[in-house]
């Protein structure tokens, strides 16, 4: 489990493309490597990946074909930086909201507004997933726990503060980029429960 509070952005130093999966080598700083063991879970751009090897400052992660299909990890190139968060430990402060690291879909950036007063990103999302996105609700974006701004039928806004831009890779994004999206699990359960109840009620009236 994760909180959506990104701890650092780390460089992808190598990508090994193999049959059915890729192996990522990511350079993690000493603080992030402390106590890191084979089999541990680490979120890379919000994707929960298992540590397969640690060599000096390099941490290795295998990314299977299904994960590559669903996330933006397939578009990574050497030299890019990914948002990194170690898994939640008992007693840790939860500053964001609970994330599983299981990405639901991707959203495309259609507009970035960067002025002295604000840094706003507008994302388009498949209508199927927009059912779970609400104004002032939460959503995981590239592993960041963020509050949703204005919402339309197929898009939503993010209003980013300087601290978020400093600690994550969102400041490096460009129009056309795709970002990993994890829907808030509580919101998903509530929406789907209400939809089922209403469907049964209306079915009984037919």
pLDDT digit string, tens, across residues 38-49: 999 999 999 999
pLDDT digit string, tens, across residues 128-184: 999 999 999 999 999 999 999 999 999 999 999 999 999 999 999 999 999 999 998
pLDDT for the residue 205: 62
- Give the domains, in start order, of the chain with CATH numbers: 8-86 (2.40.30.20), 105-192 (2.40.30.20)
pTM attached to this predicted model: 0.91
Q: Can you give the three-state secondary structure of the chain, one letter per residue?
A: CECCCCCEEEEEEEEEEECCEEEEEEECCHHHHCCCCCCCEEEECCEEEEEEEEECCEEEEEEEHHHHHHCHHHHCCCCCEEEEEECCCCCCCCCCCCECCCCCEEEEEEEEEECCCCEEEEEECCHHHHCCCCCCCEEEECCEEEEEEEECCCEEEEECCHHHHHHCCHHHCCCCCEEEEEECHHHHHHHHHHHHHHHHHHHHHC
pLDDT digit string, tens, across residues 87-137: 987 666 666 778 999 999 999 999 999 998 899 999 999 999 999 999 999
């Amino acid at each position: 489990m994760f909180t959506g509070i990104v701890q650092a952005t780390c460089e992808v130093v190598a990508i090994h493309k193999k049959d059915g999966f890729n192996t990522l080598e990511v350079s993690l700083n000493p603080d992030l490597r402390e106590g890191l063991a084979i089999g541990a879970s680490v979120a890379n751009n919000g994707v929960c990946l298992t540590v397969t090897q640690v060599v000096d400052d390099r941490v290795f992660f295998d990314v299977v074909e299904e994960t590559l299909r669903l996330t933006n990890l397939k578009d990574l190139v050497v030299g890019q930086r990914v948002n990194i968060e170690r898994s939640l430990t008992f007693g840790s402060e939860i500053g964001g909201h609970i994330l599983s690291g299981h990405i639901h879909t991707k959203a495309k950036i259609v507009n970035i507004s960067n002025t002295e007063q604000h840094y706003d990103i507008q994302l388009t999302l498949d209508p199927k997933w927009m059912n779970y996105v609400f104004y002032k609700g939460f959503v995981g974006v590239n592993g960041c726990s963020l509050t949703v701004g204005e919402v339309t039928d197929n898009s939503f806004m993010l209003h980013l503060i300087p601290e978020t831009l400093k600690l994550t890779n969102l400041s490096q994004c460009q129009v056309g980029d795709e970002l990993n999206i994890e829907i808030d699990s509580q919101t998903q359960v509530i929406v789907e429960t209400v939809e089922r109840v209403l469907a049964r009620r209306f079915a009984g009236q037919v």
